[in-house]
Amino acid sequence: MNNKPFIIGIAGGSGSGKTFFLNCFLHHFKNDEVTLVSQDDYYIPSGEMTQEENKLYNFDLPSTIDDEQFLLDIKKLVKGEVVYKREYNFNNPLAVTKILEINPAPIIIVEGLFILHFQEIGGLLDHSIFIEADEEVALQRRIKRDGMERGYPEEDVMYKWENHVLPSYREYLMPYRSQCHRIVTNNSNDADDILKVSEAISIELKTQFTKP
C-alpha cells in the first residue's frame, strides 16, 4: 500500500441512493483498509427551529457547511492523525449525539453533496464517483426517507425539494458531473444491483492502490 492514502470522493444528490451505495461499497473493504468522512457531520449548527422555520431554512447551500474544518480534518487523516468530531444531530433536540473517532487508513472516502464544489477538497480526490437517479425516483425516495426517519409532512418535503434541493443540485453538483471518473445511475431499488456495481468498482480500484 502506498504511503499516501488513496482518496475516493462519492457525490450524489438527495434521493440518488448515495448512502446505500456507500454502505455497499464500504462492505467490500476491511475495517482497517478504509475510513469515511461525511459532509453531513460538518453542518454549521443552526439552533433549534420550529417546524415552519425548519421548512424555510435552506440546508442545501454550501454556506451551511463548515468546509474549512472539513478540509482540515481530511488533511489530518492524510497525515495519519486521528480526527475527533461531534456527530451532527440534524437539529433534533432529542437526539443523543456522540463523538466520532475517525481513524486514518490507506483509503479515505469523502462523501457529500458539495465535495466537488469545494475546490480544495475536490483537488485532494484521487478518484471521484457520481451517483445519480431519475428525478421522480429521487423525489419518491426523499419523501419516504423524510417521512419515516424525520417525521416531515409531505407538503414540507415538496417545498424543500422544489425550492432548495433541485436548485442546489443543479448549481452546485451537476456542473461537476462530467469531471467525475465514474457515473453510477441508481434507479433500481434492487439491492443486488448496487451490490454488484459497488463490488465491480471496488475490485477495479483496488488494483490502483495496491501492489501485488
The CATH number for 109's domain is 3.40.50.300
| Residue 76, in any domain of the structure | yes
Within a domain: 108? yes
Looking at residue 193, what is its pLDDT?
A: 83
**CB-CB contact of 104 with 82 (8 Å):** yes
Q: Report yes or no on 53 lying in a domain.
A: yes
How far apart, in whole angstroms, are the C-alpha atoms of residue 54 and residue 56?
5
pTM metric for this prediction: 0.89
On whether residue 194 sits in a domain, the answer given is: yes
Please check whether residue 185 lies inside any domain of the structure.
Answer: yes
Across all residues in the chain, what is the average pLDDT?
Answer: 89
- Give the number of domains in the chain: 1
**Active-site residue, 193 included:** no
Is residue 180 predicted with pLDDT exceeding 50? yes
Question: Active-site residue among 40, 66, 67, 156?
Answer: 40
Range of the domain at 23: 6-204
Query: Three-class SS of residue 172?
Result: helix
Domain contains 165? yes
Residue 36 has pLDDT above 80, yes or no: yes
Domain assignment present for residue 209? The answer is no
* Closest-CA residue to 118 (of 176, 201, 187, 167): 176
Domain assignment present for residue 211? The answer is no
